[in-house]
Chains A and B, each alone.
Chain A
Amino acid sequence: MKTKTFPRGIHPPEHKHGTEDKALEALPAPEKVVIPLHQHFGAPTAPLVKKGDEVLLGQKIGEAKVLFSASVHSSVSGKVKAVEDFNHPLGKPVQAVIIRNDGEDRISPELQGHDAPFSLSPDDIRQKVKEAGVVGLGGAAFPTAVKITPPKDKSIDTIILNGCECEPVLTADYRLMMEYPEDILKGAELDRIATGAKKIIVGIENNKKDAFEIFRSQNPGFAFETSLLKTKYPQGAEKNLISALLKREVPRGGLPFDVGVVVQNVGTAKAVWDAVSQGRPLIERAVTVSGTGIPDPKNLLVRVGTLFQDALDFCGGAKDGSNMMIMGGPMMGLTQWTTEVPVIKGTSGILAWAETKPARERACISCARCVTHCPMGLVPTQLMKYIKHDFLDEAEAWGALDCVECGCCQYSCPAKIPLVHWIRLGKNQIIALKRKKSA
């Protein structure tokens, strides 16, 4: 069968065998959860509870005050121990609600499902998604209610369900596709209704052929297409996925809206379905716990706010000598300095391994491998040089802000230059400069 793909990219080792055949397993709710009030792209939420309050499972504890935000809900029932700053996997401590779990899972009465979700209006669907605090579960945690609200001047024709999971090691999305294909498709159908799109395309990489077959055999009562994609990184990057499936190019600085597309991760689609059909807020997600430092790698359904340590303990605890822990995948994940950090809505994986001394960095020899592999068509080495020498205007003209930080350049760099690090630095400087100018 012919597979679709995008130009350039890389083929990192997959390392998915450790967990791909392990069904999702619910991690028992821990005694204590730490739920950050900021887990998404956009503004933080305002706390609705204070120390000593009793909270119920699914109760809203952080209110989204603006459009670009997402409400936060309690993932257990119990008593609020504190509302204070706590370690956050993104680095900086963030205000969090710390709850002692009473173990009873008393469900909040505010959770209301709907018997015929497909009969809801687009606004009703968006409202329910917004209430449930659903965000993109692929990693960027973009508020889903915003994503399925196309601007008035754009018409959406296609919903792309992103089942690529192109990051090595991670298998959580794959398990969701194997175990909940119907929920995922129904979520996509709700997206389709909300956006007025005409069709749904499910894109799945070739290394997950059985998930592809399962989706192809689904008969949910509405139309959708399933498309097989080449196993290549970063196949699941939004703009590359659109180019692979539809041969459309999202304009520089634009969004998928601009080419009539909404791309949604399969896990997010399931969350949309759960939110609208059951009124269930986003309080749990699939997480792959793996890596050579994990004795018993697993795919877990983890409640938001569970500390990494609890998830690690459930998988046999990190092995001696494991000195590197990542939230996310090995290509784009974030290293963690402590295991006392909570699982958030954007946590797709917890990986641990022993890192040896980093390879020695040498001078760029202009081999152009970074150029050959950059899925965005950038010249990473040139960006690095511009940014290193403070030529920020040139760096911007050469597309620094188009960089999606996928890491293909650095993966293939024989001089072992931290290209992504430099470009990220440059992006931050360029954006800061712009803010200053417009202020």
Chain B
Amino acid sequence: MMANNVMFLKSSPHFQDHDSVPKIMYVVIISLLPAIAASFYYFRLKALFLYLACLLGCLATEAIFLKVRKKPLNSLWDGSAIITALLLAMTLPPDLSLELAVIGSVVAVALGKQVFGGLGHNIFNPALVGRAFMQIAFPVAMTTWSAPVTLSLDAVTFATPLGNLKFQDAISQGTLTSLPELLWGNIGGCIGETSALALILGALFLLFKRVIDWRIPAGIILSLSVFTGIFWMVDANKYAIPVFHLLAGGLLIGALFMATDMVTSPISTRGAWIYALGIGLMVGIIRLFGGFPEGVMFSILFMNTFVPLINRYTRPRILGERRQA
């Protein structure tokens, strides 16, 4: 007889790999570290306090919801609430007051994720829901920028590269932010979005770990480049060169870390292309013709709404299936 009479019965398969949802989430958190480090460098304690405020807001809200919904409390440490907190903080202006950051965090987790049923059930990227709420509720605070400490400017207010482009006619004034500055991130903007290099470094790690689908950033970059490129070729004195649009503002953090959120992006590869091309196009339209200098957040949220529909119409071809002519 088998020594233990209690036999374990289950259906196949009996092998599983060792990856898990929390492991994936912590890989994403690690990938954010270079950009977080850059934000500490450029904005020092202001950044630190924003991260702490968002972590507090997100984790506390998550814990309350888990408790009320009678879900296992250790889901708090599945990493998803931490990602929401980090991503939200990274997209906040440096001088934002901390209570507003906490309010935004509560909204992000509560309305962005938990009301839908928690991780995996949300339609929108939670961090962006929080940010969109803040943008509408606190419009002035969310668009007041200060220079990074590394610039040692005395100015109280300071323009972001995109704001400068849209409202101060930067191209004809010759004040358009240079590409090296955009790459390093020694510029105004949200604390975690300014350093393109740090963001790309983190994203390479994600691509290497196969946590994100390369098609999504590729599609966004492609359609934004083509769209802004057409206008740039028509009138280079009025429209910025595409690479400026790729490096400025929240495009990279959005394309690499937010649009690629597994839960709120399409399942199939064809779907990923449709979704990504749509986001890039929307960003281009808003930046060039909208009332806001930046459009990444709304573009991603807008395309998030289409994900269920995209999934429905982009079912992959089944082996042996003949497509209708």
A365 and B4 in contact (CB under 8 A), knowing A375-B319, A377-B321?
no
A295 to B267 alpha-carbon distance, docked (Å): 44
A325 and B119 in contact (CB under 8 A), knowing A251-B320, A405-B12?
no
A421 and B120 in contact (CB under 8 A), knowing A379-B315, A381-B267, A402-B320?
no
For A, the interface residue count at a CB cutoff of 8 angstroms equals 70
- Asked if B322 is at the interface (CB within 8 A of a chain A CB), the reply is yes
Q: Are A335 and B263 in contact (CB under 8 A)?
A: no
Residues on B with C-beta less than 8 A from A330 are 12-15
Known contacts A337-B7, A411-B16, A412-B19; 17 further A-B pairs (Cβ under 8 A):
A12-B17, A251-B321, A322-B3, A326-B14, A332-B12, A332-B13, A358-B10, A359-B16, A364-B120, A366-B262, A366-B267, A381-B267, A407-B13, A410-B13, A418-B11, A420-B12, A421-B11
- By Cβ-Cβ distance, the 4 closest A-B pairs, closest first, are A407-B13, A363-B120, A320-B3, A324-B8
A363 to B72 alpha-carbon distance, docked (Å): 13
Nearest B residue (CB) for A422: B11
Residues of A at the B interface (CB closer than 8 Å) are 10, 12-13, 168, 239-240, 243, 249-252, 254, 309, 312, 318-326, 328, 330-339, 352, 355, 358-359, 362-368, 371, 375-379, 381-382, 398-399, 402, 405-407, 410-416, 418, 420-421, 424
Taking the closest CB of chain B, its distance from the CB of A371, in whole angstroms, is: 6
Taking the closest CB of chain A, its distance from the CB of B45, in whole angstroms, is: 34
- Asked if B290 is at the interface (CB within 8 A of a chain A CB), the reply is no
Q: Which of B12, B75, B119, B121 contacts A334 (CB 8 A)?
A: B12
**A–B complex contacts, Cβ < 8 Å, 27 sampled:** A239-B320, A250-B319, A252-B319, A322-B4, A323-B6, A328-B12, A330-B12, A332-B12, A332-B13, A335-B9, A358-B10, A362-B120, A364-B120, A365-B24, A376-B319, A379-B267, A379-B315, A382-B311, A382-B315, A410-B13, A411-B15, A411-B16, A411-B17, A414-B24, A415-B21, A416-B20, A420-B13
Taking the closest CB of chain A, its distance from the CB of B297, in whole angstroms, is: 21
Nearest B residue (CB) for A369: B19
Taking the closest CB of chain B, its distance from the CB of A419, in whole angstroms, is: 9
- Asked if B95 is at the interface (CB within 8 A of a chain A CB), the reply is no
Q: Are A377 and B318 in contact (CB under 8 A)?
A: yes
- Asked if B23 is at the interface (CB within 8 A of a chain A CB), the reply is yes
Q: Which of B3, B11, B21 contacts A414 (CB 8 A)?
A: B21
Q: Which of B7, B117, B118, B264 contacts A325 (CB 8 A)?
A: B7
Q: Which of A358, A368, A378, A415 has the most CB of B within 10 A?
A: A368
- Asked if B268 is at the interface (CB within 8 A of a chain A CB), the reply is yes
Taking the closest CB of chain B, its distance from the CB of A258, in whole angstroms, is: 9
Taking the closest CB of chain B, its distance from the CB of A291, in whole angstroms, is: 10
A361 to B3 alpha-carbon distance, docked (Å): 29
A413 and B7 in contact (CB under 8 A), knowing A376-B318, A379-B267, A402-B320?
no
A402 to B319 alpha-carbon distance, docked (Å): 8
Residues on A with C-beta less than 8 A from B263 are 365-366
- Asked if B317 is at the interface (CB within 8 A of a chain A CB), the reply is yes
Q: Are A254 and B24 in contact (CB under 8 A)?
A: no
For B, the interface residue count at a CB cutoff of 8 angstroms equals 44
Nearest A residue (CB) for B211: A367
Residues on A with C-beta less than 8 A from B317 are 377
Residues on B with C-beta less than 8 A from A358 are 10
A335 and B262 in contact (CB under 8 A), knowing A168-B15, A324-B14?
no
A424 to B322 alpha-carbon distance, docked (Å): 24
A292 to B246 alpha-carbon distance, docked (Å): 54
Residues on B with C-beta less than 8 A from A254 are 320
Q: Which of A371, A375, A406 has the most CB of B within 10 A?
A: A371
Residues on B with C-beta less than 8 A from A12 are 15, 17
Q: Are B268 and A368 in contact (CB under 8 A)?
A: yes
Nearest B residue (CB) for A414: B19
Q: Which of B7, B20, B265, B311 contacts A336 (CB 8 A)?
A: B7
Question: Do most interface residues of chain A lie in helix, strand or loop, or is the interface mixed?
Answer: loop
Residues on A with C-beta less than 8 A from B2 are 312, 318, 322-323, 325, 339, 352
- Asked if B181 is at the interface (CB within 8 A of a chain A CB), the reply is no
Q: Which of B13, B19, B78, B317 has the most CB of A within 10 A?
A: B13
Q: Are B120 and A331 in contact (CB under 8 A)?
A: no
Q: Are A321 and B9 in contact (CB under 8 A)?
A: no
Taking the closest CB of chain B, its distance from the CB of A413, in whole angstroms, is: 7
A217 to B78 alpha-carbon distance, docked (Å): 55
- Asked if B136 is at the interface (CB within 8 A of a chain A CB), the reply is no
A390 to B171 alpha-carbon distance, docked (Å): 59
- Asked if B180 is at the interface (CB within 8 A of a chain A CB), the reply is no
Residues on B with C-beta less than 8 A from A379 are 267-268, 315-316
A376 to B319 alpha-carbon distance, docked (Å): 5
- Asked if B169 is at the interface (CB within 8 A of a chain A CB), the reply is no
Residues on B with C-beta less than 8 A from A359 are 16, 20
Residues on A with C-beta less than 8 A from B117 are 363
Query: Which residues of B, 220-277, contact A by the 8 Å Cβ criterion?
Result: 262-265, 267-268
Nearest B residue (CB) for A413: B16
Residues on B with C-beta less than 8 A from A367 are 24, 262
A368 and B262 in contact (CB under 8 A), knowing A323-B6, A323-B8?
yes
A322 to B17 alpha-carbon distance, docked (Å): 21
Taking the closest CB of chain B, its distance from the CB of A73, in whole angstroms, is: 29
Q: Are A362 and B119 in contact (CB under 8 A)?
A: yes
Taking the closest CB of chain B, its distance from the CB of A311, in whole angstroms, is: 13
A312 to B20 alpha-carbon distance, docked (Å): 34
A73 to B101 alpha-carbon distance, docked (Å): 77
Residues on A with C-beta less than 8 A from B19 are 412, 414
Taking the closest CB of chain B, its distance from the CB of A33, in whole angstroms, is: 19
Q: Are B118 and A339 in contact (CB under 8 A)?
A: no
Taking the closest CB of chain A, its distance from the CB of B154, in whole angstroms, is: 47
A331 to B120 alpha-carbon distance, docked (Å): 27
Nearest A residue (CB) for B75: A362
Residues on A with C-beta less than 8 A from B68 are none
Residues on A with C-beta less than 8 A from B7 are 323-325, 335-338
Taking the closest CB of chain A, its distance from the CB of B274, in whole angstroms, is: 15
Residues on B with C-beta less than 8 A from A355 are 8, 14
A339 to B2 alpha-carbon distance, docked (Å): 7
Q: Are A371 and B121 in contact (CB under 8 A)?
A: no
Residues on A with C-beta less than 8 A from B320 are 239, 249-252, 254, 402
A365 and B14 in contact (CB under 8 A), knowing A254-B320, A371-B267, A377-B321?
no
- Asked if B1 is at the interface (CB within 8 A of a chain A CB), the reply is yes
